[in-house]
């Protein structure tokens, strides 16, 4: 097993550090040489195929569900098709409004999650066109779906999903651009910018790894707290949910993610002196609103770790600590912003002596309902 960990103490850490390569593998062969077009040979859809889709349904569980939440922003913004995201175990029991004009996407690292498989079967039964985004070739979900996009992240052993998630985001961003190009809703300049930026992601991941010592020290300082809050708006809200899940599943710290605007509707009551709040502020269009949420929790003496983009000196003024991620556009920055949160969860779990790769009560792949 030590050999398989390749010198890392845990599979989770190894898999976090494998993200640059995993992302590169997800991208390989899927962008035209001049960065203007997505090439999804496995789909090979025509404009007519896409024109017949009047809504997208995404179902998944856990981290894969969080990837679906980010994909809702991607697809709605870039292809202007309405997207509904549902937890697979909820979808299957709600007599859903799915039909032949629905593109049903299921996301699953393992391709074996029983609720996701059942949701896929239900969407298919209702006549939807089905597409699986999975990491495991030949998995049950890959066999059941009409079409498959593989993430090519390589084997993920740790229970906490890391590289599977970031590669799902990459595959989903490519898909959003692909749909937007085929239905003519996506500006070609924006498409080119996104596709060019995607190529930069592996290098930018390495820049984040250079800041790992700061993350370790935050984890040491706050790892013994009982609660933590993650705040974000827009795509950052989805990233906050993933950061919160990561922290709770491996460190057993109670964590909750909130949309910044929801704070005043209840959660603010829980913010008191010393409570760690991780505030994500990578999304330019909601930045001012997010800053005011950060000020609100600061005013209640929370300890705020702000996650922002390089050069955001304004953010640094209002928080106790900052984690900067490299500058990237609003669609690719969430793929980077989650990495410090993965590392924070990892080092918090280490601080608490938890079994990082095999957290209590959890299995890598949930094949029972
Ligand atoms: C992630 O860290 C979790 N262990 C879990 O939420 C996982 O993402 C979920 O069980 C879905 O698994 P799948 O992607 O293999 O379907």
Ligand 1 geometric centre to CA of 109 (Å): 7
Q: Give the residue from 141, 49, 134 showing the smallest Cα distance to 100.
A: 49
Ligand 1 atom 10: the closest Cα is on which residue? 62
Residue 51 CA to residue 315 CA, distance in Å, equals 42
Residue 306 CA to residue 313 CA, distance in Å, equals 11
Active site residue 163: no
Site to substitute for ligand 1 among 61, 360, 362, most atoms within 8 A of C-beta: 61
pLDDT of residue 3: 74
- Whether ipTM exceeds 0.90: yes
Residue 251 CA to residue 359 CA, distance in Å, equals 8
Written as tens digits, the pLDDT of the chain (369 aa) is 777 888 999 999 999 999 999 999 999 999 999 999 999 999 999 999 999 999 999 999 999 999 999 999 999 999 999 999 999 999 989 899 999 999 999 999 999 999 999 999 999 999 999 999 999 999 999 999 999 999 999 999 998 999 999 999 999 999 999 999 999 999 999 999 999 999 999 999 999 999 999 999 989 887 778 899 999 999 999 999 999 999 999 999 999 999 999 988 988 888 989 999 999 999 999 999 999 999 999 999 999 999 999 999 999 999 999 999 999 999 999 999 999 999 999 999 999 998 888 888 888 888 877
Helices (H), the chain: 11-17, 19-27, 47-51, 62-79, 88-91, 114-125, 140-144, 163-182, 188-209, 212-222, 235-251, 287-299, 313-318, 333-351
Among 124, 185, 248, 364, which one carries the catalytic annotation? 364
3 state SS of 171: helix
The ligand 1 site (C-beta within 6 Å) comprises 61-64, 108-110, 113, 116, 159-161, 249, 365-366
Site to substitute for ligand 1 among 10, 59, 64, most atoms within 8 A of C-beta: 64
**Against a cut of 0.90, is the pTM above it?**
yes
Ligand 1 geometric centre to CA of 88 (Å): 12
Q: What is the dihedral of CA 134, 137, 141, 142, to 10 degrees?
A: 90
Q: Give the residue from 129, 66, 125, 133 showing the smallest Cα distance to 95.
A: 125
pLDDT of residue 306: 96
pLDDT of residue 28: 97
Ligand 1 geometric centre to CA of 62 (Å): 5
* Non-local CB neighbours of 188 within 8 Å, separated by 6+ positions: 36, 181
- Work out the end-to-end distance of the chain between its first and last CA atoms, rounded to an integer number of angstroms: 30
Ligand 1 atom 16: the closest Cα is on which residue? 108
pLDDT of residue 51: 97
Q: Which region holds residue 277: left if phi is over 0, alpha if psi is between -120 and 50, else beta? A: beta
Partner residues linked to 89 by β-bridges? none
The residue count of the chain comes to: 369
Ligand 1 atom 2: the closest Cα is on which residue? 160
pLDDT of residue 224: 73
Residue 294 CA to residue 348 CA, distance in Å, equals 22
Atom of ligand 1 nearest to the CA of 134: 14
Q: Give the residue from 264, 311, 268, 318 showing the smallest Cα distance to 288.
A: 318
Ligand 1 geometric centre to CA of 243 (Å): 14
Residue 59 CA to residue 43 CA, distance in Å, equals 19
Ligand 1 atom 7: the closest Cα is on which residue? 62
Residue 158 CA to residue 115 CA, distance in Å, equals 20
Site to substitute for ligand 1 among 70, 110, 140, 161, most atoms within 8 A of C-beta: 161
């Amino acid at each position: 097993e030590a050999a398989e960990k390749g010198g890392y103490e845990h599979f989770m850490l190894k898999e976090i550090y494998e993200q640059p390569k995993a992302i590169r593998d997800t991208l390989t062969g899927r962008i035209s040489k001049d960065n203007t077009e997505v090439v999804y040979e496995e789909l090979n859809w025509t404009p007519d195929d896409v024109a017949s889709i009047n809504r997208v349904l995404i179902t998944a569980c856990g981290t894969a569900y969080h990837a679906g939440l980010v994909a809702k922003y991607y697809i709605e913004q870039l292809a202007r098709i309405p997207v509904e995201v549902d937890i697979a175990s909820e979808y299957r029991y709600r007599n859903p409004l799915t039909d032949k004009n629905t593109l049903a996407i299921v996301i699953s690292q393992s391709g074996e999650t029983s609720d996701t498989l059942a949701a896929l079967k239900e969407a298919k039964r209702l006549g939807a066109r089905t597409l699986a985004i999975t990491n495991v070739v030949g998995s049950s979900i890959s066999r059941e779906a009409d079409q498959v996009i593989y993430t090519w992240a390589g084997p993920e052993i740790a229970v906490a999903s890391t590289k599977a998630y970031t590669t799902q985001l990459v595959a989903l961003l490519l898909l959003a651009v692909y749909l937007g190009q085929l239905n003519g809703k996506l500006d070609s300049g924006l498409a080119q910018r996104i596709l060019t930026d995607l190529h930069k992601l592996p290098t930018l991941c390495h820049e984040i790894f250079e800041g790992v010592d700061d993350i370790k020290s935050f984890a040491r300082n706050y790892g013994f707290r009982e609660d933590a809050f993650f705040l974000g708006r827009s795509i950052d809200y989805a990233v906050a949910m993933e950061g919160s899940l990561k922290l709770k599943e491996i460190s057993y710290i109670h964590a909750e993610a909130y949309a910044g605007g929801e704070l005043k509707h209840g959660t603010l009551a829980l913010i008191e002196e010393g409570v760690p709040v991780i505030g994500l502020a990578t999304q330019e269009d909601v930045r001012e609103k997010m800053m005011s949420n950060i000020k609100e929790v600061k005013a209640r003496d929370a300890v705020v770790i702000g996650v922002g983009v390089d050069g955001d000196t304004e953010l640094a003024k209002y928080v106790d600590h900052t984690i900067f991620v490299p500058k990237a556009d609003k669609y690719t920055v969430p793929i980077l912003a989650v990495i410090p949160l993965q590392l924070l969860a990892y080092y918090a779990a280490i601080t608490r002596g938890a079994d990082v790769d095999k957290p209590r009560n959890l299995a890598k792949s949930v094949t029972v309902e």
